[in-house]
Structure 1
């Protein structure tokens, strides 16, 4: 398996581009282990939702060419080259509350968001 430094198709990033918290990394690792998949969380942005854009999460087998990659505790967060412009500077966290548990994106570019936290506007 290639490392970030030895694979020229993977864009290595500074921590300010995207970040994965230790809580989110632990949750991704647990989900990936149960599904017998690599611990790679893909964050992408789609048009839609009640605020204009919505976050989409899923497990990936590996980073794609030109993905931006951040790694925490051996877990990778990957973002495609189109979505990165909408989430640059974000942090992905995993939170549990009485209302449920979910991945949350703290996006400094979002001008507004919806109550559920899954969509945003710029």
Structure 2
């Protein structure tokens, strides 16, 4: 599988989408920047783009553009809620280093 969406992440996306009256589609993009070189960007999408990779879990879709997928291939998008806060996280096997907040990485 190119990338996976955990059940907990799917449930959180569904909850957010319902509150915002939007489709349950989470977009993951990788951008240059952050303290380690690349950073993850999450947002709700209205629909997939033509070149997106689309995976579905529990009726929720995760979309990743063709440029970003090479940097996160084999990873899992999860949602964690603990004493440090609640956020989407990427378990990225391609990352060789990361920052303490988990939103920035290098390859």
TM-score, length of structure 1 as denominator length? 0.87
Larger CA Rg, structure 1 vs 2: 1
Unaligned runs of 5+ in 1: 1-15
Please point out which of 53, 61, 86 is paired with 1:101. 86
Are 2:69 and 1:69 equivalent residues in the alignment? no
Mapping of residues 1-122 of structure 1, within 5 Å: 16-122=1-107
Give, in angstroms, the shift of residue 66 of structure 1: 1.2
SS at match of 2:26: strand
1:12 is matched with none
Give, in angstroms, the shift of residue 86 of structure 1: 0.5
Give, in angstroms, the shift of residue 50 of structure 1: 0.1
Give, in angstroms, the shift of residue 99 of structure 1: 1.4
Once residues 64 and 19 of structure 2 are traced to their aligned partners in structure 1, the CA distance between those partners, rounded to angstroms, is: 23
TM-score, length of structure 2 as denominator length? 0.99
Unaligned runs of 5+ in 2: none
SS at match of 1:44: strand
- Equivalent pairs counted in the alignment come to 107
Quote the RMSD (CA, aligned, Å). Answer: 0.4
Give, in angstroms, the shift of residue 74 of structure 1: 0.3
Once residues 19 and 93 of structure 1 are traced to their aligned partners in structure 2, the CA distance between those partners, rounded to angstroms, is: 9
Q: Which has the higher helix share?
A: 2
